[in-house]
Structure 1
Amino acid sequence: MKTEHKIYIALVVLALLGVGVFFTQKRERAEREAHSVTAATADLPSIGMSKDDVEKITKLSIKNADKSDVTLEKKGDTWEVTKPVSAKAHTANVRSILDNLKELKLKEAIDRTTATYGQYELTDDKAVHVVAYKGDEKALDIYFGKSGSRGQMARVEGKDGVYVAGGYSSYLYTREAKNWRENSILKFEDANAIQASVENKNGLFSFSKNDDKWTGSFAPRDKAGKIGAASAKWEKFDEAKVKDMLRAFQGLGAEDFGDGKSAADTGLDAPLTNGGIVKIKLKDNAGDFTVNVGKTAKGQSRYATKEGGDGTIYVISSWSADWALAEPKKFEKSEKKDDKKGEDAHEDEAAGHMDMGGME
């Protein structure tokens, strides 16, 4: 065999050996990295909670540095807000937190020290601090900070380090204190209403439904403030406006609360003077509701209470509150305004009628 052929064969063998060494090293490197990732993941603090663990939670503390410091406690089968006020909790919002606890997990470590807490907004005065209890025992104690391209930053109480957390939904934990409270005031189907009334400084509006048809009457107040007799017939009455009012009250909810306000502050000591009283009756004795509306709280929203309730002072939107302050025209058919051309034509027609002695 010629020398040059031997050289070619040697080069081929050497190349094959090089390729083999390359792939062997690549495989070994991949295995080392896989083992490294597995080891790093195994070394992460465990924060996951099973479904059974979540159902055993009896207390939640959520301190949101920017908005609120709220404590929720389970009493019997219901949840209550115990801080910053004592009130019934918003069941759906509490449930959303409990369900999210099952999704939480730590995915990787960013820093194994406390040095970068400030950088990632994980200090006590910046982070969202969540503590879940099972009885007197802490089931979870975690802080959530800045969220960026690498994910949601978090730290675990009692363990130094910054981690990337998965499953965290910020909006569930960062609600204002008022949004942890039950805000439902009324709940009914407008089709089930058979009677309604509005009483205010203008007078008394009374509405009744017969065969799905609403009728209405208005009794004005006299100068002495007494309710007079209702007119025999309300020519401009529009039953559609009654339906509009019922829609405004059928799912009435609070925008805010008037905690600490006196009856004089809210105007609820004299609702007939400061706002009005709305009453709604349902068929088949399914319920009678009375809502007292008082003074303006903020913007156009007003204070309100529900008779027979727990005395909570609510703040309701002007869309609902304005019905309590109604004047007769609010329940009357709207007058359509003609455009300029129509007005001119109307004037010409009127002139023609006058030429004929004012008679059509």
Structure 2
Amino acid sequence: MKTEHKIYVALVVLALLGVGVYLTQKRQKDELAAHSVTAASADMPKVGVSKEDVEKITKISIKNADKSDVTLEKKGETWEVTKPVNAKANTANVRSLLDNLKELKLKEVIDRTSGTYGQYELTDEKAVHLVAHKGDEKALDLYFGKSGSRGQMARVEGTDGVYVAGGYSSYLYTREAKNWRENSILKFEDENAIQVSVENKNGLFSFSKNDDKWAGTFAPRDKSGKLGAASAKWEKFDEAKVKDLLRAFKGLGAEDFGDGKSEADTGLDAPTTNGGIVTIKLKDNAGDFTIKVGKTAKASSRYAVKEGGDGTIYVLSSWSADWALADPKRFEKSEKKDDKQGGNPHEDEAAGHMGMPGMPGMPGMPDMEDGE
């Protein structure tokens, strides 16, 4: 065999040996890593609640650094908020939280000490602290901190270490306190309404449905506040506006609550002066609902209370609350601008030459009405 051939053979053998060594080392490395992961996983604290135990949870407390602490307790078959206030809990939100407890698990070890709690926002002051009880027994006690590319950081009460948690849905644990409360006020099918009334400082609106058609009357108040006679015929009445009102009230919910407010603070001591009263009657004696609306709570939202309810003071959005403050035009058909201005295009043109567009009070021209 020629020398050069011997060299080629030696190189091939050397290469094969190198590949063999590489594969052997890689296999050993992979096996070591697999054993390390298995050992680390086996050494991590067990968290989460089994499907069976979830139904045995009776108390949940959540402490958020930037929100009010919340405590939920099961009383019989229903859940209640017991901190920061005593109120009926939002069943759907509590159910979502309970279901998520089953998904919680620790996936990876970041640090075996408490030295990096500050870095990962897992200190008592910064973390979201969750504690769940089964009767007198603590079922879960976890802290959740920063979330990043590696996942959701967490720690376990009584065990030093930072872990990556799986299954955690932050929005379920960081709700505002008000969103843990039941906010539903009314629930009915608008097609079942047969009578509606609105009473406020403007007067009394009365609507009734016959053969699926709505009719309406309006009794105005005089300057002394006394109700006058109802109109014999309401020419501009639009039944579609009554249907709009019913759509706003059929699934009425609160956007906030007026805890600690007095009737004088909310204006609910004199709703016909400060807001209005909306009453809805359903067919087949299925129920009568009365909502009293008072003063402005914030922005354009208003305080309200359900007559015959538990006395909870709600805050309603303007979309529903403003119906209680309606004037007659709110229930009338919209008119074209030209009709309201007398329908004289020559007069409009003349006004355009006499002054700047939109200026009120021009000779021979009526002022635009509010809101148009």
Q: Percent identity?
A: 85
Amino acid at match of 1:225: G
Amino acid at match of 2:293: V
1:351 corresponds to = none
Alignment of 1:42-121 (within 5 A): 42-121=42-121
2:164 corresponds to = 164
Q: CA deviation at 1:335?
A: 1.6
Q: CA deviation at 1:226?
A: 2.0
1:204 corresponds to = 204
**Alignment length, in residue pairs?**
347
1:358 corresponds to = none
2:309 corresponds to = 309
Alignment of 1:104-253 (within 5 A): 104-253=104-253
1:355 corresponds to = none
1:332 corresponds to = 332
Aligned-partner Cα distance in 2 for 1:6–1:200:
109
Gaps of 5+ in 1: 349-360
1:323 corresponds to = 323
Gaps of 5+ in 2: 350-372
Note if 1:24 corresponds to 2:20.
Answer: no
Aligned-partner Cα distance in 2 for 1:2–1:238:
109
**Secondary structure, in 3 states, of the residue corresponding to 1:45?**
coil
Moved over 4 A (4+): 1-8, 345-348
Change (3 A) 1:19 1:259: same
Amino acid at match of 1:29: K
Amino acid at match of 1:71: T
Note if 1:344 corresponds to 2:345.
Answer: yes
Change (3 A) 1:295 1:2: closer
Aligned-partner Cα distance in 1 for 2:96–2:6:
75
Aligned-partner Cα distance in 2 for 1:344–1:273:
41
Amino acid at match of 1:269: D
Offset from partner CA, 1:29-64 (integer Å, 9 cap, x none)? 111111111111111111122111111100000111
TM-score (norm 2): 0.90
Q: CA deviation at 1:228?
A: 1.5
Amino acid at match of 1:91: T
Offset from partner CA, 1:178-215 (integer Å, 9 cap, x none)? 11000000011111111000011111100001111100
Offset from partner CA, 1:272-326 (integer Å, 9 cap, x none)? 1111110001111111100011111111111100011100000101111111111
Q: CA deviation at 1:221?
A: 1.5
Aligned-partner Cα distance in 1 for 2:5–2:187:
95
Aligned-partner Cα distance in 2 for 1:82–1:7:
85
Change (3 A) 1:328 1:109: same
Aligned-partner Cα distance in 2 for 1:274–1:286:
30
Root mean square deviation, CA, Å = 1.8
**Secondary structure, in 3 states, of the residue corresponding to 1:121?**
coil
